[in-house]
Amino acid sequence: MNKNQLQQHDREHLLHPFTDFHDLGKQGTRVITSAEGAYITDIDGHRMLDGMSGLWCCNLGYSRREISEAIYEQLNKLPFYNSFFQCTTVPSIELADLLSEVTPAHMNNVFFTGSGSEANDTNLRIIRRYWDLLEQPEKRIVISRKNGYHGSTIGGASLGGMSGMHKQFQALDYIEHIEQPYWFGEGGDMSPEEFGVHAARSLDEKIQELGPEKVAAFIAEPIQGAGGVIIPPETYWPEVKKVLDQYDILLVMDEVIFGFGRTGEWFGADYYGMKPDLMTFAKAVTNGYFPLGGTMVSDRVAEVIKAKGGEFTHGYTYSAHPAACVAGIATLNILREEKIIERVRDTTGPYLAKRWAELADHPIVGEARSLGLVGALELVQDKGSRARFDDKCTAGAVCRDMSIKNGLVMRATGDTMIIAPPLILDTTQIDELVEKARRALDDTAKAMA
C-alpha cells in the first residue's frame, strides 16, 4: 500500500488512543516506518530526532539488538508460560532480582503487569488488601492530584486528575484530588518556594478534611509527565514528606516516566529522597521493546501481604511474560554496564540544563525548565503577565507541527512544549535538539503574529 492507501485504511479501520477521530479523518496520520539510534523516519523519508523517546519509553534509542535478540531467543525457547497457580519462569525470577537491586533498598518485591495502567490498578488492589489484613477496613480513600496521569483503565484514569478524561467516564468514588505543584500556571504572586509548600499543604488539608483514619494512600508522579513536565518547586517533596510522616498513610510513587534514569538517578524517589511504599513502573523498563509494567512493593507492605494466609485474587494472563522479562533484563543490564544514568546525572543532564535555559530568552517563551533529560517550554504571548495566545492552545499545536517539519519530535500539552529524548543523546545531539527547538519557536512566533 502507498501512503495514501495506508492513511485511508487507517481512517476506515483503526481507532487510535487519545485521538479526535473526526480530525484524524481530515488530516491523515503520520506513518512512521523505521528508526535508528535517537531518530525516527516516516513514510516520506523525513528523518526526525525523537525528542519524546517514542512515548517516554525508548530511553536507549531504537538500535539495541541485545534487547531484540534476547526477545527472539526467548520466544523460540519458551514463548509463554503463566505465573499463576504456583508456576514461574526463569526470566521472571531474574528480572525480579534485578529490580530489587536497582530500586530503593527497602523495595524487594515486584508484581508484574502488562502496562502502567494495569500496575496502578494493581496498586489499588494491594492498598486495599494491606489495610484489610491490618484490620483497618475503614482506610479506603486514595488521594491523588489534579492534572496527574496514572493511565487509562478505569482505575488508572480515576487516579489521574485530567478533567477532560473524567468527563468521559464514571470515576471510582473513593479517590480524591488535591492541588498540583504547577508554579508557572498556578503560582500567582508566590515565589516558587512558597508555592511548593502551599501545594504540599493541600495534602495535609485534604487528609484533615477526610479524617486520617479514612485515608489509605497518596499517589503522585515525582514530576508530572503527561500533565506538562511539571517539575515541582524544590520545597514541594520535603514538605509532602513532613505531612506524610504525621499520618499512617501509604505513599505510591508513579515512576512510569521517571523510573530508569530520566532524572539522572534510577528513580524519581531517589532524586527527591522519598521512601515510597509502592512504586509503579512500565514504559522504559523494556526500552519500549515489549509491553511490561509492574509495581515494586516495599518490605513494609510485602511483609503484611505475604505473612497472612488467603489468596490475593488478582493478576493478569501476561503478568511476568517471559519475553517481556528478558527485554527488561537486557535493558537494565545496558543501563548499568554503560553507566547511562550516571552520564545523564554528570554530563548530559547539566549540559541540557544549560542549553535549554537559553531558550528562555525567546520572545514567546514564558519559562524554560528542565531536569535530567526532560524539559518543557511555556509558550506565551506576553512574558510579563504569562498571558497565552488564546484559550484553544493554538500556539502549542502550531509549534509541534513546526518542530516536526524541522526534524524534531516535540510534544504539545496545551501550550506547554515538552521533550524527553533518549538518554543516549550526546552533547552534539543536544545542540541539534536545542537549535531545532529554537527554529520551531521562531516559526511559531511568525505564524502567531
Which positions touch ligand PLP (CB under 6 A)? 56, 115-117, 149-151, 221, 225-226, 254, 256-257, 282-283, 293
Distance, in Å, from the CA atom of 57 to the CA atom of 104, rounded to the nearest integer, reads: 21
End-to-end Cα, the chain, rounded Å: 40
Of 83 and 144, nearer to ligand PLP (C-beta) is 144
CB of residue 80 to ligand PLP, shortest distance in Å: 20
Of 144 and 235, nearer to ligand PLP (C-beta) is 144
CB of residue 359 to ligand PLP, shortest distance in Å: 24
∠ CA 235-240-245, rounded to 5°: 130
CB of residue 256 to ligand PLP, shortest distance in Å: 3
CB of residue 43 to ligand PLP, shortest distance in Å: 25
SS (H, E, C) 154-185: HHHHHHCCCHHHHCCCCCCCCEEEECCCCHHH
- What SS3 class is residue 367? strand
Of 179 and 254, nearer to ligand PLP (C-beta) is 254
Cβ–Cβ < 8 Å for 223, 416: no
CB of residue 149 to ligand PLP, shortest distance in Å: 5
Q: For residue 316, give the nearest of 115, 75, 132 by alpha carbon.
A: 115
Of 38 and 230, nearer to ligand PLP (C-beta) is 230
CB of residue 418 to ligand PLP, shortest distance in Å: 12
- What radius of gyration do the chain's Cα atoms show? 22
Of 221 and 277, nearer to ligand PLP (C-beta) is 221
Of 207 and 418, nearer to ligand PLP (C-beta) is 418
Of 267 and 389, nearer to ligand PLP (C-beta) is 267
Of 52 and 398, nearer to ligand PLP (C-beta) is 52
Cell of 180: 498540583
- What SS3 class is residue 23? helix
Of 139 and 150, nearer to ligand PLP (C-beta) is 150
DSSP string, 260-308: TTTTSSSSHHHHHT---SEEEE-GGGGTTSS--EEEEEEHHHHHHHHHS
Of 116 and 264, nearer to ligand PLP (C-beta) is 116
CB of residue 314 to ligand PLP, shortest distance in Å: 16
- What SS3 class is residue 190? coil
CB of residue 390 to ligand PLP, shortest distance in Å: 27
Owner of C-alpha cell 489509605 = 216
Residues 6+ apart with CB under 8 A from 294: 99, 110, 111, 112, 113, 119, 122, 280, 281, 282, 285
Distance, in Å, from the CA atom of 225 to the CA atom of 237, rounded to the nearest integer, reads: 16
CB of residue 423 to ligand PLP, shortest distance in Å: 16
Of 160 and 366, nearer to ligand PLP (C-beta) is 160
User: Torsion-angle region of residue 144: left (phi > 0), alpha (psi -120 to 50) or beta?
Assistant: beta
CB of residue 368 to ligand PLP, shortest distance in Å: 22
CB of residue 230 to ligand PLP, shortest distance in Å: 12
∠ CA 290-67-288, rounded to 5°: 35
Of 99 and 364, nearer to ligand PLP (C-beta) is 99
Burial of 244 (0-12, 13-18, 19+ CB in 10 A): buried
- Number of residue whose CB is nearest ligand PLP: 116
Backbone angles phi, psi at 278, to 5 degrees: -135, 150
CB of residue 326 to ligand PLP, shortest distance in Å: 19
Owner of C-alpha cell 495535609 = 204
DSSP H or E stretch at residue 252: strand 250-254
Residues 6+ apart with CB under 8 A from 241: 273, 274
* Bridge partners (DSSP) listed for residue 208: none
